[in-house]
């Protein structure tokens, strides 16, 4: 006897979209919604799998962008510039040569 045909519900579609956005593997999502394989999941939930992660990343990127450009979150501004604009931190002091100047200790005479 063949298995009944899979008919995804709206609730399942929303769950798949959320779980893929959170970073769960397709195998785990398939098990969660009662499907035996990730292949079947991909067959019936292709749009949710493709768009769920993209939408989540876009939402987080939008929040990060607003924080970085608001002027109220300087750490986020620096993070954005390092990740997106190639900024990097450099040490303030760099000696001209590899050799350090001599270190001299003088002993003072007691008065």
Establish if 61 belongs to a structural domain.
Answer: yes
Establish if 52 belongs to a structural domain.
Answer: yes
* Helix (H/G/I), strand (E/B), else coil: 47: helix
- Residue 74, phi then psi, degrees to nearest 5: -60, -30
Q: Which residue reads 């003072």 in tokens?
A: 108
For the chain, how many helices (H) and strands (E)? 5, 0
Establish if 96 belongs to a structural domain.
Answer: no
Q: Tell me what pLDDT residue 96 has.
A: 66
What percent of the chain shows pLDDT beyond 90? 68
What is the model's pTM?
A: 0.65
Q: Tell me what pLDDT residue 60 has.
A: 94
Establish if 90 belongs to a structural domain.
Answer: no
CB atoms within 10 A of CB 38: 16
Question: Residue 71 — left, alpha, or beta (φ > 0 → left; ψ -120 to 50 → alpha)?
Answer: left
User: How confident is the model over 4-42, as pLDDT tens digits?
Assistant: 788 999 999 999 999 999 999 999 999 999 999 999 999
Domain coverage including residue 23: 10-85
* Total domains present in the chain: 1
Cβ-based neighbours of 25, under 8 Å, separated by 6 or more: 38
Cβ-based neighbours of 29, under 8 Å, separated by 6 or more: 16, 19, 20, 38, 41
Establish if 4 belongs to a structural domain.
Answer: no
């Amino acid at each position: 006897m063949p298995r009944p045909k899979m008919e995804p519900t709206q609730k399942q579609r929303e769950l798949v979209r959320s779980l893929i956005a959170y970073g769960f593997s397709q195998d785990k999502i398939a098990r969660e919604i009662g499907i035996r394989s990730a292949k079947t999941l991909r067959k019936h939930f292709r749009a949710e799998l493709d768009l769920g992660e993209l939408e989540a990343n876009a939402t987080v990127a939008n929040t990060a962008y607003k924080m970085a450009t608001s002027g109220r979150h300087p750490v986020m501004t620096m993070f954005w510039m390092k990740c997106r604009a190639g900024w990097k931190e450099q040490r303030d002091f760099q000696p001209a040569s590899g050799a350090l100047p001599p270190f001299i200790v003088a002993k003072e005479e007691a008065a």
